[in-house]
A and B are shown apart, each in its own frame.
Chain A
Amino acid sequence: GAGVSQSPSNKVTEKGKDVELRCDPISGHTALYWYRQSLGQGLEFLIYFQGNSAPDKSGLPSDRFSAERTGGSVSTLTIQRTQQEDSAVYLCASSLAQSGGSRNEQFFGPGTRLTVL
């Protein structure tokens, strides 16, 4: 597609429910990133994928958070047993490559706003 897309754009859920957030990267981009934007915490890196592998998951805040990527394309971020502190905007980005240089420019999607009641 023309850009990174994310769905849903907004998600309201009750505490304790599981949610899935989807990211469709730009076609041909091998690297995919998830970030979280919340009040008081700013923009935080969560996880990145190179192809279908996630070499670094150190940014995931707890074991309730997981992510996968299939076919080197779509990625899903899953939050189990949601808590109110999970409320945030979840941003996805993709880039041509994960190495340094000009190919590392990350293109961001519009985000999914998650509200946990």
Chain B
Amino acid sequence: AQSVTQLGSHVSVSEGALVLLRCNYSSSVPPYLFWYVQYPNQGLQLLLKYTSAATLVKGINGFEAEFKKSETSFHLTKPSAHMSDAAEYFCAVSWNTGFQKLVFGTGTRLLVSP
């Protein structure tokens, strides 16, 4: 079965430090890739998406992600963390199977300390 793996259920960084959240997917078929953020008691908000255009994708709030086909990865980065970035981040993948069922990773909670 196709799957998505997020390495690290929790990631802690200091304010101003680099943020790196990892995501790998299981299929060799090029997928559509997404990163969503979820703030406490809120729904999911799309950060960015890859849909076979540029491999480096820029999203909201200074986040970006790079699609690497050879590594089947789509890691999320931000050069400098803010306190407001503390949230849970989900990587999601869909394959063009006729409808866009999203397969989610298990999520990574980002903790930002002063």
Contact between B103 and A45, CB atoms less than 8 A apart: yes
Contacting residues, chain A, for B46 (C-beta < 8 A): 105-107
Pair A106/B103 contact, Cβ less than 8 Å: no
The one of B41, B100, B105 in contact with A106, judged by C-beta atoms closer than 8 angstroms, is: B100
- Where chain B touches its partner, the secondary structure class is loop
A76 to chain B minimum Cβ distance, whole angstroms, is 18
Which A residues are in CB contact (< 8 Å) with B106?
42
> A56 — which chain B residues lie within 8 A by C-beta?
99, 101
B residues with CB within 8 A of A: 32, 36, 41-46, 49, 51, 90, 92, 94, 96, 98-107
Interface residues of A (CB under 8 A from B): 4, 31, 33, 35, 42-45, 48, 50, 55-56, 59, 91, 93, 95, 98-102, 104-111
